[in-house]
A and B are shown apart, each in its own frame.
Chain A
Amino acid sequence: MGGRRLSLDWIGAVPFLAYVTVFLGLPTIIITVGSLAGEGGPTLSNFANLSRPYIVSATINSITLSAVTAVAGAILGALVAYAIATGNPQGLLRRIATSACGVLAQFGGVTLAFAFIATIGPAGFVYLWMSQHHFDIYANGIWLYELRGLELVYLYFQIPLMVLVFLPAVDGIKPQWREATESLGGGTWHYWRYIAGPLLAPAFLGATLLLFANAFSAYATAAALVNQGGPVLPLQISNAITSEVGLHEPGFAKAQAVTMIVIVALVTVLYSLLQRRTARWLR
């Protein structure tokens, strides 16, 4: 009777949309508006405060930490993914490896910090064993609780994430391509340089970007491992939310949050562009 235009079908989507508006949309609006709010009206002074030396160094540290662990994690993770992909696709090894990667990549923030404290912390058994054999990794001070320590511990979730996102791309490689290369007289070098390499490159770069964003937004591991100070941006944001100083400047945490959103969003857009390029030949 009413025709298509008066259809009330959209009501079915209202509960979901209402929910995400309140708990996803509203927080985003609070951050964006709050970052521009000052005592006397709209202002950019919250962003000007980002030039404080400790914020600048935390930002640089965060970017370095994310870049180093993204590149190292991507290379090592790609090797592991290739080793898994060349095995039995239905085998137990692959099942366990992918499940373990799922857990380690997403769910273990705090646990990872403890795992490394138990391993190479000053009371960890690997450290004790090594120092008994006159090999002191902490000869120049305990670096586990500093940036270098974070780099090592972050690899523990970066490599599994790389395996998870890169495995489908490696699975897409067809043995026929190798055979075709060989029938044309090409060797292993030619195959990787001209066939598999260029085909995997977009997926590899995309995954590296994803790893960067992942490390850049990670909070739990750093918070559990680093006891004082805020060497990375997520820790500074946490300080700015909960500390006395932070409560006096509610816009400060929000300005830092906007910075993080912008960086992560940029990286994610690049990632999805590369992902689309990969998808072209994966199907």
Chain B
Amino acid sequence: MTGARRLKLQVFRVVVLLLAGAFFLVPIGAMFEFSTRGVGDNAARTLSSWKQIFDYPDLIAGIVASLQLAAITSLVMLALLVPTMVWVRLKLPKLSRVIELICLLPLTIPAIVLVVGLWPIYQWMGNNFSDSILTLSFAYIILVLPYAYRALDAGLSAIDVKTLSEASRSLGAGWFTVMWRIIVPNIRSAILNASFLSVALVLGEYTIAQNLLYPNLQVEIVSLGRTNAGVSIAVAVASLLFAFLLLVLLSFFNRGPGRLRLKDLQQVMRSVKA
């Protein structure tokens, strides 16, 4: 690369990244600014909006509900998806395209559309089963399927599921041991990946909760925004930063594409014998 062109490229990069940085950071900074305003003109900066978060029981209930939903959604998603994906790889390879298609389908069905179809189902569930806000996790598992599937698929493709499981089966391991002590430890970072994405998605979810009339975190933020904008903006920016932190952490856990290494096989031998 010639010197002049490198300079031009550097100038281009700096200009674009600075402009993009400003466009994306100013609104987030503005939320901090707004949430630390005092009352009246020229009032001193105050953290009272942040402290007041705890004075709104509905908001706290929304936060708690969203955290519970995030935990339930991640766990059930993993329990449903990991064994199925492993099993399909081992025994039903013909089904793998179908499973992939099903998992990616929610990307083409907007949440607002899904809600139209979920409405009668949730009415029925509310009358016959439970109308707890936690039932939202049934819908959220569908919402996170595409992201979770991609993360887990990347993890499972990086290891040789078939060889690993045949090796442990031939050493006398049952299916439970294969799953729990061979496969799961080997796709740990993919599992983490899938769970973090699910948590972030559930914490930010508004469409389904609002239309099914369940007050989760985001619904409470919007309704509080009409009376006390300072507090609701404080919570909104906090939840955004939390999701951002999760994803930055995630980027450090992600290793490059792996392959079956001697170490993995040795680990198989060890854990089966233990």
Contact = CB atoms under 8 A, between A and B. Distances in A.
**Range of interface residues on B (Cβ < 8 Å):** 35 or more
A13 B88 contact: yes
Given A23-B142, A24-B105, A124 B5 contact: no
A172 B83 CA distance: 34
Size category of the binding interface on chain A: 35 or more
Interface in A102-118: 102-104, 106-112, 114-118
Contacts of B20: 76, 80, 83, 159
Interface in A87-110: 87, 93, 95-96, 98-100, 102-104, 106-110
B59 interface: no
Nearest to A188: B5
A109 to B, nearest CB: 5
Contacts of A17: 102
Given A80-B17, A107-B203, A217 B244 contact: no
B92 A107 contact: no
A219 interface: yes
A265 interface: yes
A28 interface: yes
A241 B13 contact: no
Contacts of A111: 31, 204, 221, 236-237, 239-240
Contacts of A265: 108
Interface stretch (B162-170, B181-189, B246-254): B246-254
A237 B20 CA distance: 34
A118 B34 contact: yes
B116 A102 contact: no
Nearest to B108: A268
Nearest to B88: A13
Nearest to B110: A217
B30 A119 contact: yes
Q: A interface, by DSSP: helix, strand, loop or mixed?
A: helix
Contacts of A22: 121
Given A104-B24, A114-B31, A115-B27, A23 B141 contact: yes
Contacts of A84: 17
B108 A264 contact: yes
B75 interface: no
Interface in B1-59: 1, 5, 9, 12-13, 16-17, 20, 23-24, 26-28, 30-31, 33-35
A171 B13 CA distance: 15
B11 to A, nearest CB: 11
Interface in A253-272: 253-254, 256-257, 260-261, 264-265, 268
A124 B80 contact: no
B115 A241 contact: yes
A245 interface: no
A236 B10 CA distance: 47
B192 interface: no
A281 interface: no
A86 interface: yes
Interface string A242-256: 100000000001101
Nearest to B116: A257
A109 B138 CA distance: 21
Contacts of A217: 110-113
Interface string A104-148: 101111111011111100011110000000000000000000000
Contact of A103 (B27, B30, B232, B244): B244
B210 interface: yes
Contact of A27 (B16, B84, B117): B117
A189 interface: no
Contact of B27 (A13, A19, A156): A156
A223 B56 CA distance: 23
Nearest to B84: A16
B134 interface: no
B112 A12 contact: no
A130 to B, nearest CB: 12
Contacts of A201: none
A39 interface: no
A16 B99 contact: yes
B80 A19 contact: yes
A83 B19 CA distance: 11
Contacts of A213: 108
Contacts of A93: 17
Name, among A10, A100, A124, A219, the residue most crowded by chain B CB atoms within 10 Å (CB to CB).
Answer: A219
Interface string B138-158: 110110010100000000000
A139 to B, nearest CB: 21
Interface string B76-119: 00001101100110011001000100100111111111111111
Which 5 residue pairs spanning A and B have beta carbons closest together?
A: A27-B117, A217-B110, A107-B204, A115-B27, A118-B34
21 contacts: A12-B83, A12-B92, A27-B121, A96-B248, A103-B244, A107-B201, A107-B204, A110-B206, A112-B27, A115-B31, A115-B237, A119-B27, A123-B34, A156-B27, A223-B210, A223-B222, A224-B222, A234-B112, A242-B213, A257-B116, A260-B113
